[in-house]
Amino acid sequence: MQPDPAFGQADLTNCERELIHLAGAVQPHGALLVLDGGDLRVLQVSGNVQRLLGVAPEGLLQQPLAVLGGDLTERIAALRRTADLREPVALQCQLGAERRGFDAALHQLASGALVLELEPAPGSPVDVELQDLAPEVMAATLSSALQRFGAAPSVGVLADAVVEVVRNLTGYDRVVVYKFDPDGHGKVIAESRHPRLESLLGHHYPASDIPQRARALYLLNRVRMLVDVDAPQAPLMPALLPGTEAPLDMSLCQLRSMSPIHLQYLRNMGVTATLTASLVREGQLWGLIAAHHYSPRYLRSTMRAATDLLAEVASTRISAIENYAHAQVALMVRRLEQRLVEATSTEGEWRYALFRNPRTLLQPLDATGAVLFCEGEVLTTGETPSTPELRALLAWVQAEAGAGDAPFACASVGQANPALDSLTPTASGVLAVRLSDRSPDWLMWLRKEQLQSVTWAGDPAKPMVASNPLELSPRRSFAAWSEIVRGTAVPWSTTEVALARGIGVALVDIIVQVQAVRLLIAEHQLLKIRSAVAGAREAVLVAHAQGEIVFANDALQALHGAPVDKGRPVAELFALAPVVQEALTQMRAAHHGWRRELDLRAADGTAVPVAVHAEPISGNDGQMLGFVITLMDLREARRADTARLNLETSLRVAAQSSASEADEVISAILTNASLAAMDIADARGGPPAAPLLQELENSTRRAAGLYAQIRSFSK
């Protein structure tokens, strides 16, 4: 009887528990040394130093790094004076009396120790073929690729360009772009392959194929290469790092050996060598560029840096494309708002106008039905469940959504709540926005069940093939395996969720205006209507025709920073009081709305930038009753403008430097960044732009740094 394996009975949780960052070994094409951060004594080495460096492990341990000869010690000293070593920094060096060339990477651990990785440069003995390009060919390839990326109008077109460019650059047999969905499952959305290989385009991979620990490492170490799945690994000596008596944290090591489980997974696929590059958006792993080869393949560090550069620029383009969709959302919402405001002005009611043309409500979100819960009424359009079923759905959505104004989205209502399984034919998916914090008012879009044929790379229901974790593979067969998925709708996209949020905000604004009309027409109902207006999330003022404040809700007073007294002139709240007073006068005369960006005078004397939207309110006899004024806080938008100006300044300075060198690659990087900045900054109503622009600036600097490394190594 065989003993139980250390991890217990094998299943995919072993992959999750595996400490892959503590691998304790390196791939044999390079050597690793851990150095004391003070005197550069060698504390730990990989077992292959004799073959690659010409010195046995025992001849290096506890010896000064200088025993290797050459210029390595001087190179490291120079880097420590100028570089941030919290992330690996590339360098070139020569070792020994023969002055053998090496590509190297250096980073520093939290303990102060230095991790040095060495790979033989072209012309040095190595077991696998070196893949590299001439400098002028590399520059032309990158420049052309980046221009193509910048012109891509959609993620699909961009992904197709990425796989073609990366495969032509690196020579791998297959290159795919692999995108993660919200549940962590992956789908191949683009592919370039050798004609002899079967296509994986459209195949799905379960989330368990890439454990969370591995996903975290993909964010730290953006490009990973496996040269030969069957090559023996070189263990670290000693196994524990002296001074810590713990395994070396290899999270940032490019040479880190792969997980035994992952290696078996690749063998089952018939893959010998791999290259992966991370696609990162808003600090999260959006997807991967994955390259497979069916014989050993090694890329020099310059080629890996080029792949990293391409992935970095592709990531910025993905962010720009997806944020441009948010800009289109803002335009659609504005048109809907105008239509409903007109209906409210002429008919005194917006709800029926919203449902008058079902296509304009359903089509933008690709919904099959919609339902409005407002002031106790239930209005529907399209294909919807019965009213009792809808009220049950409302109760569940309210419980699941919790507090706050974020839209609630679900593509499988019946699976999430079996009690609502009867809704599946017409409401398998729901996207809901809250219209009031004080009453159960919601607008929901529905999607009926859509039977989907999903093609997996092997049967995802058969992940276990052995009880020994070191022999575990998620599956031995990767033949296409299809299943019909029932009880689910097409998932709601981020753009559709953003559109729903925008429509919800517009409706809340309209509801506030209608409630303000009622307040001014029927002051005997003041307490009731005031309560409704007070619950609005937007800052709202209601004023008499003379411009004196009737009511200011909590959101307005929070924005102002102090209570706002009834009877106070509206104009006094703003830095440009005469401008506001003149606008109110014109509205009284012309009976039309007014919009402008102004500074609100906060109670502490500071200026709060706001977008002001004022609408005159008339009675049934046409007499002016007053105004309803909503204020939108623009501080986040101003921060975004500042971030954009800073980015433009950085790009301008970099462009001037690039012009002096006439470098097309740097120019393409900067052009792509400038286009992305415009798309991000113009996307009102989406994610906050300031952090996205900062991420874009960081990404652009990183891409430029990678190209600088490529150029320096090519000289």
3-state SS, 646-686, equals HHHHHHHHHHHHHHHHCCHHHHHHHHHHHHHHHHHHCCCCC
**Cβ neighbours of residue 645 under 8 Å, at least 6 residues apart?**
none
pLDDT in tens, 123-136: 654 444 555 677 78
Q: Residue 1: pLDDT band by 50, 70, 90 thresholds? A: very low
The answer to whether residues 541 and 559 touch, using CB atoms and an 8 Å cutoff, is no
- Where in the chain is CATH 3.30.450.40? 1-21+172-296+452-485
536 CA to centre of own chain: 31
The answer to whether residues 452 and 488 touch, using CB atoms and an 8 Å cutoff, is yes
Q: Residue 346: pLDDT band by 50, 70, 90 thresholds? A: low
Q: Residue 165: pLDDT band by 50, 70, 90 thresholds? A: very high
Mean pLDDT of 335-354: 69
Q: What is the pLDDT of residue 179?
A: 93
Exposure string for 115-128, b = 16+ CB within 10 A, e = fewer: bbbbbbbeeeebeb
Residue 325 has which token pair?
């969709």
CA distance 475 to 282: 33
**Do the bridges between strand 284-293 and strand 273-281 make them parallel or antiparallel, or are there none, so unpaired?**
antiparallel
**CATH for the stretch 508-633:** 3.30.450.20
Least Cα distance to 313 among 346, 280, 340 occurs for 280
Q: What is the pLDDT of residue 45?
A: 96
- Where in the chain is CATH 3.30.450.20? 30-120, 508-633
CATH topology of domain 30-120: Beta-Lactamase (3.30.450)
CA distances (Å), origin 597, targets 534, 606, 633: 23, 16, 10
pLDDT in tens, 528-556: 445 555 656 778 888 888 888 888 888 88
Q: How many residues does the chain have?
A: 715
Mean pLDDT of 232-248: 93
**Cβ neighbours of residue 480 under 8 Å, at least 6 residues apart?**
203, 455, 456, 457
What's the DSSP call for residue 474? S
Q: Exposed/middle/buried for 102, CB within 10 Å: 0-12, 13-18, 19+?
A: buried
Mean pLDDT of 705-714: 82
pLDDT over 60 (residue 473): no
CA distances (Å), origin 481, targets 203, 208, 209, 268, 457: 9, 17, 15, 16, 6
CA distance 130 to 122: 7
The answer to whether residues 459 and 477 touch, using CB atoms and an 8 Å cutoff, is yes
pLDDT mean across residues, the chain: 81
Residue 573 has which token pair?
């709240």
The answer to whether residues 111 and 248 touch, using CB atoms and an 8 Å cutoff, is no
pLDDT over 50 (residue 644): yes
User: Higher confidence at residue 467 or residue 270?
Assistant: 270
Which backbone phi and psi does 487 adopt, to 5 degrees? 75, 20
End-to-end CA distance of the chain: 61
Residue 513 has which token pair?
């205006």
pLDDT in tens, 659-706: 445 478 888 888 888 878 777 766 655 567 778 888 888 888 888 888
The answer to whether residues 519 and 529 touch, using CB atoms and an 8 Å cutoff, is yes
- What is the architecture, at CATH level 2, of domain 1-21+172-296+452-485? 2-Layer Sandwich (3.30)
CA distance 329 to 494: 11
**H or E element, residue 153:** none
